[in-house]
């Protein structure tokens, strides 16, 4: 087997392992399913083009996230400032949802709440809490300091808690 | 972690993975392998993906050089390990002396650098020796004077040195592009209070030199070309300088934040402006007229 084929196999393994999370990141950042798939595939192909370097990294998936983040930003930046208009406030939209259906609607509620956050906070919360990356890994992808990641994550969580308070199950009993 | 936070994070975890089923994942992996094969056979597709990667890398370089190059300089200048900083050319020296003496002193200073705090001096020295003149030349083509170009080049190499010491140098894929971009930023945003911007030269000085192969002639021809380049608007200077360094349009496009087509158009415009100004260097008839 040639070196190129070895590299292809290694890249495909990384793809299999991380595709779901890279796509999840892009969707949480506001991409629709089709765009998320397209950007994720391109990001993995980009990593393959630099595989000689990427394979030596401690966390090669970080490189993929970086390209994906940059591409999303390039293609969607004009929409970032009006994300709130595109994804209205979750309580306003979902206040009338039958609370028995909330289990099904959970993802939609949390995702809509995420869309209300400023881009940096959304990135930090998604990478740290949704994807489960370390603070250092997130800082590397976002190209900011670890301290900044902590701050963005803290502020993002706080804002999400406020937004989602209405949907929190009440203690010791049924939903309202 | 509070109960609230745990609840929130467990909700967010649901969103972290699109959780593709096994069949769907296999289909996507096969599709990806097909795309990998196409990438090998189709140069257009390979160029598209390369441009995407280059964009991400250049953006990272730009952010890095914009954010910390200037602030870190004074701290490094007083540090013991970074002896290159003490070899800045004196303003009292003439330009030629400054260039030669400054360069020699900097190379000597590098060999004296504290090896215990310098993980790979030889790697840096090789890079410095092979690229320093190239970076200065590149900056002069974007309108910098010799002194300003040397100052900015030093800042860029200082940043490169810092990265080598931090162990992040190998993460930069295209180091030659990186050092030129950092140098260009350093030239455009020098440390200290904002400077009066350098406006393009409105009229070119009369060119009185004779064409030939002597050192004087070559010097006057070079200065004619540099003057012509300085007369261009800034964006045009950058695309021409990058092109002269052999970089494709995608590099200047990313640096200037424009499309590749616009970068190519700028290059075309620059060539149109430069052609009449440099005509006498290229037209044999005019050369003969002058020689008479």
Which element (helix H / strand E) includes A123? helix A119-125
For the stretch B175-205, pLDDT in tens is 888 888 888 888 877 665 555 545 444 454 4
Average pLDDT rounded to a whole number, residues A84-91: 50
d(CA B160, CA B176): 11
The residues of chain B scoring below 70 in pLDDT are 1-4, 58-121, 190-220, 280-292
Give the nearest partner residue to A129 out of B9, B31, B170, using CB atoms.
B9
pLDDT of residue A149: 93
> Per the CB < 8 Å rule, is A143 touching B64?
yes
Smallest CA–CA distance, residue A93 to chain B, in Å, is 19
For the stretch B5-25, pLDDT in tens is 777 777 777 777 777 788 888
pLDDT of residue B59: 64
| B17 neighbourhood in chain A, CB within 8 Å | 20-21, 24, 131
3-state SS assignment for residue A82: coil
pLDDT of residue A59: 87
Interface of B with A in 3-22 (CB under 8 A): 4-5, 7-9, 11-20
Locate the chain B residue with the closest alpha carbon to A21: B17
pLDDT of residue B195: 53
pLDDT of residue A16: 92
What is the share, in percent, of chain A residues with pLDDT greater than 90? 26
> Per the CB < 8 Å rule, is A45 touching B64?
no
| A157 neighbourhood in chain B, CB within 8 Å | 5, 8
Smallest CA–CA distance, residue A109 to chain B, in Å, is 10
For the stretch A90-132, pLDDT in tens is 444 444 444 444 444 567 778 888 888 888 999 999 999 888 8
Give the nearest partner residue to A107 out of B5, B14, B52, using CB atoms.
B14
> Per the CB < 8 Å rule, is B25 touching A114?
no
Give the nearest partner residue to B18 out of A27, A41, A125, using CB atoms.
A27
Give the nearest partner residue to B35 out of A45, A50, A114, using CB atoms.
A45
Count of Cβ atoms closer than 10 Å to residue A145 Cβ: 11
Largest separation between any pair of C-alpha atoms in chain A: 63
pLDDT of residue A163: 81
| A28 neighbourhood in chain B, CB within 8 Å | 15
For the stretch A7-30, pLDDT in tens is 899 999 999 999 999 998 898 888
Q: Which of A49-53, A82-86, B10-14 is most confident?
A: A49-53
> Per the CB < 8 Å rule, is B14 touching A11?
no
d(CA A118, CA A48): 31
| B250 neighbourhood in chain A, CB within 8 Å | none
Locate the chain A residue with the closest alpha carbon to B33: A12
Locate the chain A residue with the closest alpha carbon to B23: A16
Give the nearest partner residue to B17 out of A24, A37, A110, using CB atoms.
A24
> Per the CB < 8 Å rule, is A45 touching B39?
yes
pTM exceeds cut of 0.80: no
Smallest CA–CA distance, residue B78 to chain A, in Å, is 24
Smallest CA–CA distance, residue B187 to chain A, in Å, is 23
Give the nearest partner residue to B19 out of A20, A45, A143, using CB atoms.
A20
| A161 neighbourhood in chain B, CB within 8 Å | 4-5, 8
d(CA B26, CA A101): 32
| A66 neighbourhood in chain B, CB within 8 Å | 56, 60
Whether the Cβ atoms of residue B72 and residue B165 lie closer than 8 Å to each other: no
């Amino acid at each position: 087997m040639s070196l190129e084929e070895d590299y292809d196999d290694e890249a495909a393994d990384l793809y299999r392992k991380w595709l779901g999370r890279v796509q999840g990141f892009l969707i949480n950042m506001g991409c629709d399913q089709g765009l998320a798939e397209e950007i994720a595939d391109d990001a993995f192909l980009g990593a393959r083009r630099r595989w000689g370097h990427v394979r030596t990294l401690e966390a090669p998936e970080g490189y993929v996230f970086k390209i994906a983040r940059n591409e999303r930003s390039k293609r969607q930046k004009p929409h970032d400032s009006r994300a709130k208009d595109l994804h209205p406030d979750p309580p306003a939209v979902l206040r009338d949802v039958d609370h028995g259906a909330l289990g099904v609607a959970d993802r939609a509620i949390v995702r809509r709440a995420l869309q209300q956050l400023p881009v940096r906070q959304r990135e930090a919360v998604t990478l740290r809490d949704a994807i489960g990356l370390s603070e250092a890994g997130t800082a590397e992808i976002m190209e900011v300091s670890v301290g900044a990641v902590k701050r963005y994550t803290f502020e993002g969580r706080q804002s999400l808690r406020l937004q989602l308070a209405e949907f929190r199950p009440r203690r010791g009993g049924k939903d309202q | 972690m509070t109960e609230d936070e745990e609840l929130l994070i467990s909700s967010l975890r649901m969103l972290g993975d699109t959780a593709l089923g096994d069949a769907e994942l296999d289909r996507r992996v096969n599709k990806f392998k097909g795309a990998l094969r196409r990438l090998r056979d189709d140069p257009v597709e390979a160029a598209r993906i390369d441009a995407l990667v280059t964009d991400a890398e250049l953006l990272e370089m730009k952010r890095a050089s914009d954010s910390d190059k200037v602030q870190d300089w004074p701290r490094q200048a007083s540090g013991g390990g970074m002896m290159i900083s003490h070899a800045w050319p004196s303003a009292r020296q003439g330009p030629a002396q400054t260039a030669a003496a400054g360069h020699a002193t900097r190379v000597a200073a590098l060999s004296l650098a504290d090896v215990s705090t310098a993980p790979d001096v030889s790697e840096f020295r090789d890079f410095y020796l092979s690229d320093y003149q190239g970076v200065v030349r590149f900056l002069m083509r974007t309108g910098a004077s010799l002194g300003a170009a040397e100052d900015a080049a030093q800042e860029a190499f200082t940043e490169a040195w810092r990265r080598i010491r931090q162990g992040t140098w190998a993460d930069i894929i295209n180091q030659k592009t990186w050092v030129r971009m950092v140098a260009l930023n350093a030239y455009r945003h020098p440390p200290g209070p904002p400077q009066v911007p350098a406006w393009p030269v409105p009229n070119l000085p009369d060119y009185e030199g004779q064409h030939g192969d002597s050192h004087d002639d070559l010097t006057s021809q070079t200065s004619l070309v540099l003057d012509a380049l300085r007369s261009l608007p800034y964006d045009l200077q950058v695309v021409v300088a990058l092109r002269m360094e052999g970089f494709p349009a995608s590099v200047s496009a990313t640096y200037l934040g424009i499309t590749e087509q616009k970068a190519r158009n700028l290059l075309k415009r620059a060539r149109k402006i430069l052609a009449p100004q440099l005509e006498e260097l290229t037209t044999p008839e005019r050369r003969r007229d002058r020689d008479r």
